[in-house]
Amino acid sequence: MYSVNETIEAKFLLLHPTTGLPVTGATVVSTLYDETDTIHSYPTVTEIGNGLYTASFVPDTAGEWTIIFGCSTPVQSGGLTFPVGLGICKDVEDKVDTVDTNVDSVLADTNELQTDWTNGGRLDLLLDGVKTKTDLIGASVAPSNEYDTEMARITGNVALEATLTAIKGSGWTTETLKAIYDSISGLNDITAASVWAVSTRSLTDKSDFTLSTTGIDNIRKSVCTSGDTTNSIGKILYDLYNTRLTLDRCSYLDNINNANLSTIPAISATRISYLDNINNSELLNITSTILGRIDASISSRSSHSASDIWSVPTRALTDKTNFSLSTTGIDDIRKSVCLTGDTASSIGKILFDLNARLTSTRAGYLDNLSGGAVALNSTVAIEATLTHATYGLDKIKTETASLVSKVDTIDSIVDLIKIETDKIANATYGLSALNTDLDTLISNLAIVDNVVDAVKTKTDLLFAVSSSSVSHDITTANDTVETVIEEIEDTNNYSLSLFFDLDSLESASEGEVVTIKLYNKIDGSNYSDSPIAVSEYVVGSEIEYPSIETNVLSGYSKITISCSGEVTATRSIVCRILKRNM
């Protein structure tokens, strides 16, 4: 335990954070906090040796005082807390005073108890009052039959047996609640199968029924390719599409509109009549399957749920009249039959392709087949045309092969070009991705530029040194009063070097002991009562130019001066201030 006004020495061992070795020659600063954890001062730190640094301070009040050491190169910090008392004698005296106070309090309480417990005292009177009340308890014990009348009144009003008889009603003999429950549970105890066994099961809501995707597909396939293998629409159209009116045969109709038709032999009436075979009765013999309509109703009530009934595997509906599909269901079948489903054999696919083959232009060519429209001639001109060296079939075949070869070459080149152009559009490394990356890079560079500017602004302030000089007059009115020479304000951390020229006092041999102090604001508005640095100069001593060096400061600081002796005239002194930003 340390005492007030006792010099306390604190030591700090500075070790390198990486190597763990002691660091010598470093700049170490300290901050002292008083018993209220408020900055008190900044004790000067000196190096003892081998990485050990020390600072001393004198506490002025009792409590816990803390000193924090800090170093920027290398970055290390540490702190020590010292308990400070008023001294052994003072501590014992304070403890004796505390014990004396407690004894006085105990004595006062015991005196009060002695007064309260005496005959006629406060507690004695309270107990006497309680005894007066409890003495009456023994005389008021109720007789054994005191509550019989009341109990009889309560039971007489209940009439429990009569109430239960009224609830039961007439006509009941041995029935109990259990028997009633069993009887109710046995009602409507029928199975789901017995419900479906009713001969008539009419369903009242028969509209808006839809078929499943599988059901629609089955209908489409049935109409198109299966069923009556001779007369079904699917069979007729399938044969017409795949075996009779093939794509090649349809293309032959284009030859009808040929300038050389005049060389085609005459088509006889017999041949023209062959077109009548197109009007085959089978095309008109279209049959369909009539769907049965479901009409069933469940006339009896059952305790079973809907899931119980529908779980029976066989659910035949006897009433099938007036059953209809919903508009949506009919539309789904129409779309399936016409356009979707089996793309090779559906009616829709066949009719669609047939319409493309037998165009209106090609159909017009059939008129050229009418009797007398085509002049009779030999086939010599046709053969000459087909074998012509310039535009005959062989030439067309050769040119076509050459064209196919060139197209294949172009296709290969296009494929190579596509590979390269696909790279341009690639989401990972294409132009779009590159453009995005460039935008991001530009944005990031702008951020970095702003950060660098901010850092430069801060670093420009580091270790910047400013110098100023102030002049102060020591007069006969303020010579022995502590007077402010200069006040310094800076929101950044800084250190000060103060140099004083006291030649005017020295020459006049006045002022005796000159005291210079430096204070720092502790809370932004108030200065500490204790200076953080003090320098004394004895007029006529060997020290002619006193100075003060400080560690890290922040906020406001002020410099004051006072003399222990008076001056006979105004003495002007000069203070030179060097401020370094930290």
Based on the fold, state whether residues 104 and 62 are members of the same structural domain.
no
Tokens of 52: 């050990």
Task: Give the Cα separation of 448 and 532 in Å (integer).
Answer: 41
DSSP string, 364-396: HHGGGGSTTSS----SHHHHHHHT-TTTSHHHH
With vertex at residue 480, the alpha carbon angle to CA 478 and CA 486, rounded to the nearest 5 degrees, is 60
| Torsion, CA 172, CA 177, CA 178, CA 183, rounded to 10 | 60
* Whether residue 12 is found in the same domain as residue 109: no
Residue with tokens 């309480």: 109
CATH code, domain carrying 471 = 2.60.120.510
**Rounded CA gap, 490 and 461, in Å?**
11
Determine whether 580 is exposed, middle or buried from the number of CB atoms within 10 Å of its CB (0-12, 13-18, 19+). middle
Question: How many domains does the structure of the chain reveal?
Answer: 4
What was the pLDDT predicted at 87?
Answer: 67
Residues 36 and 60: their CA atoms lie apart, in Å, by 12
DSSP letters, 516-563, are EEEEEBSSSS-B-SS-SEEEEEETTSS--S-EEE---EEEEEEEEEEE
Dihedral, CA atoms, 83, 88, 89, 94, nearest 10 degrees? Answer: 40
Structure-block tokens of residue 397: 């075949």
Residue 32 sits in the same domain as residue 103: no
CB count within 10 Å of CB 564 equals 14
506 φ/ψ angles, rounded to the nearest 5 degrees: -65, -40
Which sign does the torsion angle of CA 388, 391, 397, 398 carry?
A: positive
| 391 inside domain | no
Bridge partners for 85 per DSSP? 3
Residues 50 and 109 in one domain: no
Give the C-alpha separation, 472 to 467, whole Å. 17
Q: Tell me the CA distances in angstroms from 294 to 114, 202, 298, 320, 410, one per residue in order.
A: 106, 7, 13, 3, 64
Give the largest Cα separation in the chain, rounded: 163
Other Cβ atoms less than 10 A from the Cβ of 340: the count is 15
Judge whether 71 lies within some domain. yes
Q: Closest Cα partner for 325 from 209, 201, 193?
A: 209
Q: Are residues 104 and 231 in the same domain?
A: no
Residue 299 pLDDT: 41
The pLDDT value recorded for residue 372 is 46
Asked if 21 and 103 sit in the same domain, the reply is: no
- Residue pLDDT, tens place only, 243-272: 767 777 777 666 665 554 444 444 455 554
Classify residue 382: in a domain, yes or no.
Answer: no
Separation between Cα atoms, residue 301 and residue 343, nearest integer Å: 50
527 and 550 inside one domain: yes
Residue pair 88/104 in contact (Cβ under 8 Å)? The answer is no
Q: Where are the beta strands (DSSP E) in 387-480?
A: 465-474
52 and 21 fall within a common domain:
yes
Structural domain includes residue 443: no
Mean pLDDT by 10 residues, the chain (582 residues): 90 91 94 95 94 95 94 92 78 68 74 73 77 64 57 57 66 68 63 67 65 70 54 67 74 62 50 50 39 36 64 68 70 60 63 77 71 47 74 81 85 84 76 80 84 74 75 89 89 85 86 90 82 88 79 83 92 90 75
- Do both 6 and 104 map to the same domain? no
Q: Which residues fall within 8 angstroms of residue 150, CB to CB, at 6 or more apart?
A: none
Helix H or strand E segment including 423: helix 393-424
**Alpha carbon 464 to chain centroid distance?**
46
Provide the phi-psi class of 51: left if phi over 0, else alpha when psi is between -120 and 50, else beta: left
193: helix, coil or strand?
Answer: helix
Task: Judge whether 459 lies within some domain.
Answer: no
Residue 519 falls inside a structural domain: yes
Cα separation, 320 vs 295, in Å, equals: 5
Instruction: Judge if 101 and 63 occupy the same domain.
Output: no
Give this prediction's pTM. 0.27
> Is residue 478 domain-resident?
yes
Please report the pLDDT score of residue 97 as a whole number: 74
Q: End of a domain among 40, 65, 86? A: 86
* pLDDT computed for residue 438 by the predictor: 79
Residue ending a domain, among 86, 108, 126, is 86
d(CA 561, CA 485): 7
Tokens of 504: 């005017």
Cis before residue 74, ω within 30 degrees of 0? yes
Please write the tens of the pLDDT for every residue from 53-71: 999 999 999 999 999 999 9
3-state secondary structure of 482: coil
- 3 by DSSP, 3-state: which? strand
Per the structure, the complete domain to which residue 68 belongs is given by: 2-86
Give CA–CA dist 362/254, Å, rounded.
6
Phi, psi of 285 (to 5 degrees): -90, 70
Domain shared by 77 and 106, yes or no = no
Q: Are residues 365 and 484 in the same domain?
A: no
Domain-embedded: residue 100: yes
470, β-bridge pairs: 575
Distance CA(195)–CA(315), nearest Å, equals: 10
Task: Quote the DSSP letter at residue 57.
Answer: E
pLDDT of residue 160: 56
